[in-house]
Structure 1
Amino acid sequence: MLEYVTAADDPRLTDYTRLRDVELRKSLEAERGLFLAEGEKVIRRAVGAGYPIRSVLTTRRWLASLEDVLGDATVYVVDDATMTGIAGFPVHRGALASMERLPLPAVETLLEGGARLGGCVRRLLVLEDLVDHANVGAIFRCAAALGVGGIVLSPRCADPLYRRAVKVAMGAVFSIPYARMDDWFEGLSTLRKAGFQTLALTPDQTATPLDTVALSERVALLLGSEGDGLSSHWLQEADEAVCIPMSGEAMAAGVDSLNVVAAAAIACHGLMRST
């Protein structure tokens, strides 16, 4: 159903307002049980993953390309200037969709796997307190591309379905199953009970090089926050601390670590060497 809108403050468009206001968006999206998908490809991937459409906001020139996935959803059609006024920035991909969230599985359910969750998870990432949505989205994209079976988030980790995370991930947040811990302090014990070897990634070059570790059948790699890395609690709780070796030249130049996304990509590739 098409509805033509000419005013950025039209009350029908409240799902799409003030997209740059992170705190407002987190509150609004949690309250309404929604998230936003931006651009044709991401909208298609969200629909393909089973997320119901609440509504779509788009300009006239993008209607034809989205027609086959919209079904009977309400579609608000605006001109380019109104779209920019609503979003607060130019929407270069031409369309936004308000999607219904689906219930997250419990961590135990994710670890058990099954057909609905893509089968038994053998390689897992566990993210502790990563608060940057772009970093979380990029790590989901790395994990999906390199064959990691699932992701577990600590309670304070950023929302993978926040618009920025979804955009950076190019929809990979829809293709890799994930769950959120209820209990940070005892969270790793759940992984251990499920038979996971827990490896804590650290920039400390005295830790065991990741490429020399004998990997078990099921491995969970722990990644820490952007600034401080893993907490001392998780470092101590893990079975082993591991590092990505830096070159001598890099160390001499003061480059002693990688950012969390680059580290995640290298580590994900390393985890797959024995699968």
Structure 2
Amino acid sequence: MAQIVRTEDEGDPRLDDFRDLSTADRRPDRPGGRGLVIAEGTVVVRRLLASAYPPRALLGVERRIDELAPDLADVPVPAYVTSAEVMAEVVGFHLNRGVLAVADRAPQPDADEILARSRVVAVLEGVGDHENIGALFRNAAALGVDGVLLGAGCADPLYRRSVRVSMGNVLRVPFAALTPWPSGLERVRAAGFRVAALTPRADARTLREVAADGGRTALLLGSEGPGLTAEALDSADVAVRIPMSEGVDSLNVATAAAVAFYELAAAVN
């Protein structure tokens, strides 16, 4: 079980995994950094503890650590208990959720492994906003998407903000890089998927029409604002749109993805 360790020393070196999370060049989850995964709040920490990501330690106020006691029964890591004030000094900001956990990264499947066991996948291009990435993963987990493939220009799904916004679902939905880009889409097609590019173009087929065709589908989604590049659109098998009311031509990428995930997953279930 977890070892409960009480400390009121903000300089305690055992807390270094949690230190200065608001300082960009020192963050342990930043690209090129130590590669740690950080979970915030009891719900997300529980999902991390139940995932394949090996936990290293927890840090929290006593009430939150007590709430997690059943989840920590078989987890042999230190759980550091301190005050909210000391925790804020260590982390660099006041954490309303009252508990953090850090873990090492787990081995990820490659794109071909994900495709082999999937019916609906999301393929992202240029989705560089961590909150959008997190929301996409949360929607994917909720609406029956089997995996996510990351093309060029995508943010790291395991960045702290992405993990938080996803409510820990980036730890449950398998993902992999799809390279090279966009010619890697040929791997998706060779695995038996139809590549459907989501776009507001008026000449695109409607989402419901494409979903009704059935079959394995890879939904291609572009960045907020510019959307998919011309090269990615040209590499798709079909352009698909969500019909909208007059005067509205687009949705936030995570919202649009949720609508499309629902329609596509329902068609194969």
State the TM-score, normalized to the length of structure 2.
Answer: 0.91
Amino acid paired to 2:110: A
Moved more, 124-133 or 210-219: 210-219
Question: How much has 1:125 moved relative to structure 2?
Answer: 0.5
Which of 49, 61, 76 aligns to 2:80? It is: 76
1:263 alignment counterpart: 256
| Deviation sequence 1:87-108 (CA, Å, 0-9, x none) | 2222122110011110111101
CA distance in 1, matches of 2:149, 2:37: 19
Segments of structure 2 that go 5 or more residues without pairing to the other structure are none
- Residues 1:127 and 2:129 aligned together: no
Mapped partners of 2:124, 2:206: distance in 1: 20
Q: Does 1:182 align with 2:182?
A: no
Question: Deviations for 1:6-53, whole angstroms, at most 9, x for unmatched residues?
Answer: 233433222112223445436657543321011111111112122221
Q: Show the 5 A alignment for 1:96-245.
A: 96-113=100-117, 121-213=118-210, 214-245=212-243
Contact 1:197 1:216 in 2 (8 A): no
Q: 1:101 to 1:27 in 2, by over 3 A?
A: closer
Task: Tell me by how many angstroms 1:77 deviates.
Answer: 1.8
Segments ≥4 residues shifted beyond 4 Å: 26-30
Residues 190-232 of structure 1 show CA distances to partners (whole Å, capped at 9, x for unaligned) of 1011010001001222322111225342100000011211111
Query: Could you tell me how far apart the structure 2 residues matched to 1:29 and 1:91 are?
Result: 23
- Asked if the contact 1:149–1:177 (Cα under 8 Å) also holds between the matched residues in 2, the reply is yes
The 1-side partners of 2:208 and 2:23 are apart by: 42
CA separation of 1:14/1:168 partners in 2, compared to 1, >3 Å: closer, same or farther? Answer: same
Q: Residue 44 of structure 1 aligns with which residue?
A: 46
Q: Percent of pairs identical after alignment?
A: 44
Work out whether residues 28 and 35 of structure 2, in 8 Å CA contact, stay in contact via their aligned partners in 1. Answer: no
* TM-score between the two structures when normalised by the length of structure 1: 0.89
Which has the larger share of helix?
A: 1
Aligned residues: 263
One-letter amino acid of the structure 2 residue matched with residue 180 of structure 1: A
CA contact (8 A) 2:17 2:28 kept: no
| C-alpha distance after superposition, 1:152-196 (max 9, x if no partner) | 112431111211111111121122221122322321011011010
Matches of 1:101 and 1:264 in 2, distance apart?
Answer: 26
Equivalent-residue separation in structure 1 for 2:216 and 2:28 (angstroms): 34
